[in-house]
Amino acid sequence: MPVDPALRSAALESRAWPFEEARKLVARAKRLGKTEVLFETGYGPSGLPHIGTFGEVARTTMVRHAFETLCDIPTRLLCFSDDMDGMRKIPDNVPDRSFLAPHLHKPLTVVPDPFGGAYESFGHHNNAMLRRFLDTFGFQYEFASATDYYKSGKFDAMLLKALDKFDAIMAVMLPSLGEERQATYSPFLPISPSTGRVLYVPMKEVNAKAGTITFADEDGSDVTIPVTGGRCKLQWKPDFGMRWAALGVDFEMFGKDHQTNAPIYDRICEILGGVAPEHYVYELFLDEKGQKISKSKGNGLTIDEWLTYADPQSLALYMYNRPREAKKLYFDVIPRAVDEYAQFQQAYPRQEAKERLMNPVWHIHAGNPPPPEEGGVSFSLLLNLVAVANAEDKSVLWGFLKRHAPNLSPATHPRLDALAGHAVRYFADFVKPKKQYRPPTEDERMALEDLSAALALLPEGSTPEAIQTKVYDVGRRDPYKTVQKDGSTGVAQGWFNMLYQVLLGEEKGPRFGSFTALYGLANTRALIGKALRGELVK
């Protein structure tokens, strides 16, 4: 569809990172006379897809849409699976590791499926898991299998060129290797005709004219095979450059662990007659312990785990935010991501065009974010409501929600309904086991009694603002009272920390007025009573 000129003009100036990358691509397309721009993402199916895999596709899609806003040249997104790689180790998160042991070093699309055998191979299973999720999110992409490309001959011409440029490729690769590895290195990895395994062996002969390589097979015999037709593949670094040259890739992003190798990929692409694509290097995701998440280890969050406890929009926001900063990716980050998405969504209708292009929801929803639900309740507030209501089903939460705002319903507020279900599950699995109430001190008991008395003066149905005013009034006392520069009194954070610790068993919590309005004044006073009687502390 035609892009509004005013939108395109604003996009040309936007500082949002997808537009910054897209402008580089526009310049590249004009310089090279491109009639189509190809975006690529890579996937190594040695383990089940994790969120980092999804993030690469999501972020690339954001850059692609930014490019389409700036330029009318058609685009494609190719999700390429390196499923012809040998299985170099057995993943930790498969049902039976011994089942895979006999198939070490075989191509992943030859290794049997350890998850019940529903798929042709381990590689096919993991590819299907990736496509299922990408399809769920509605990504527009084409899936490509390295096995298919090598075996079908799509790479044959470039493999023959790589054979012809064997010495030039070796000159690029050898300086990057240790002395021992240099002695045995070859950019070509033959598939053993006798064992079917991917072999890391030196070449005894390279015959560019015949298009063949000769090597010692696992039984010690010399074997000569063509490099075409899927009989061998390239080492992963040369494979990067070969693929870019063969397909004419214009953009690919990858993690910081690839950054030092990027010049090698580029140079090999150029040796083979290609033009190296634009890159975007993102920081790696870390697990709770600060270790890099890994498909084979299964640490960090899986895609399905995130979607068990939160909506997909919050996951997309987490991918958009600060891609060049290392971020921990574990369960504790979910509530904040959910609430931040809602905040950006609520701000969007009030923003001017320039501000909208800086709003993550514009990039998450390809320039057309859905309107926010009116009267929305934050995820953190729902979690606290689950706690005090002892809710095991979202219908309990809806009882409080409808009393607070009768116009709310699952039919009119489907996102809130989904979040209510997520909150019940998240609380049961992650919040409840860590809850730790503490008894109030004598001074705190007096403050809580005064707060209960102040709340008793308000009618049920009071606004969150009216309730918050009472909370502040009681909090303007020693040791919580603070004096501002203008002489007015305020309330120290310690007042609210005490409320969270004593009443909710948490170190932090929602705006207390909003919580009380939703939970109800009488219920909140009853909760204070339980705290004063010591019934919350176990």
Exposure string over 251-274, b if 16+ CB within 10 A, otherwise e: bbbbeeebeeeeebbbbbbbbbeb
- Residue count of the chain, please give it: 538
Handedness of CA 241, 246, 248, 252 (dihedral sign): negative
Residue type, 81: S
Beta bridge partners of 232: 190
Q: What is the pLDDT of residue 297?
A: 58
Non-local (6+) Cβ contacts of 199 within 8 A are 105, 189, 190, 191, 192, 215, 217, 218
Give the pLDDT confidence of 172-186 residue by residue, as tens digits.
Answer: 999 999 999 999 999
Q: State how far the Cα of 299 lies from the Cα of 292, in Å rounded to an integer.
A: 8
254 φ/ψ angles, rounded to the nearest 5 degrees? -155, 165
Helix intervals (H) in 256-393 = 262-271, 303-309, 312-320, 334-347, 353-356, 360-364, 379-389
26 φ/ψ angles, rounded to the nearest 5 degrees? -60, -45
Domain segments of the chain as ranges: 1-154+283-372, 377-430, 435-538
Non-local (6+) Cβ contacts of 115 within 8 A are 94, 95, 125
Residue identified by tokens 């096919």 is 124
Which one, of 32, 78, 71, lies nearest residue 275 by Cα? 32
* Strand bridging mode 212-216 / 205-207: antiparallel
Q: State how far the Cα of 423 lies from the Cα of 420, in Å rounded to an integer.
A: 5
Residue type, 7: L
Beta bridge partners of 77: 39
Would you state the structure tokens that stand for residue 424, as one six-digit string?
Answer: 């019940």
* Structural contact between residues 50 and 293, judged by C-beta atoms closer than 8 angstroms: yes
Q: State how far the Cα of 321 lies from the Cα of 340, in Å rounded to an integer.
A: 11
Q: What is the pLDDT of residue 294?
A: 63
Would you state the structure tokens that stand for residue 501, as one six-digit string?
Answer: 């610790």
Residue identified by tokens 């005709």 is 193
Q: What is the pLDDT of residue 317?
A: 96
Which one, of 28, 117, 125, 121, lies nearest residue 67 by Cα? 28
258 DSSP assignment: G
Which one, of 56, 40, 44, 178, lies nearest residue 109 by Cα? 44
Would you state the structure tokens that stand for residue 260, as one six-digit string?
Answer: 């030092």
CATH class of 435-538: mainly alpha
290 φ/ψ angles, rounded to the nearest 5 degrees? 85, 15
Give the pLDDT confidence of 41-52 residue by residue, as tens digits.
Answer: 998 888 777 777
Residue 525: other Cβ atoms inside 10 A = 16
Give the three-class secondary structure for 224.
Answer: strand
CATH architecture observed for domain 1-154+283-372? 3-Layer(aba) Sandwich (3.40)
Would you state the structure tokens that stand for residue 41, as one six-digit string?
Answer: 């993402």
Non-local (6+) Cβ contacts of 323 within 8 A are 17, 55, 59, 280, 282, 283
Q: Which residues of the chain have pLDDT under 70?
A: 1, 293-300, 486-487, 489-490
- Measured in whole angstroms, the distance separating CA 250 from the mean position of its chain's CA atoms is 23
Peptide bond before residue 479 is cis, with ω within 30 degrees of 0 = yes
Which one, of 462, 439, 463, 398, lies nearest residue 528 by Cα? 439
Q: State how far the Cα of 132 lies from the Cα of 226, in Å rounded to an integer.
A: 36
* Strand bridging mode 285-286 / 327-328: parallel
Q: State how far the Cα of 264 lies from the Cα of 367, in Å rounded to an integer.
A: 36
* Structural contact between residues 214 and 256, judged by C-beta atoms closer than 8 angstroms: no
Q: What is the pLDDT of residue 248?
A: 97
- Whole-prediction pTM: 0.89
Beta bridge partners of 281: 254
Q: State how far the Cα of 255 lies from the Cα of 246, in Å rounded to an integer.
A: 22
* Structural contact between residues 444 and 453, judged by C-beta atoms closer than 8 angstroms: no
Q: State how far the Cα of 426 lies from the Cα of 254, in Å rounded to an integer.
A: 31
* Structural contact between residues 330 and 287, judged by C-beta atoms closer than 8 angstroms: yes
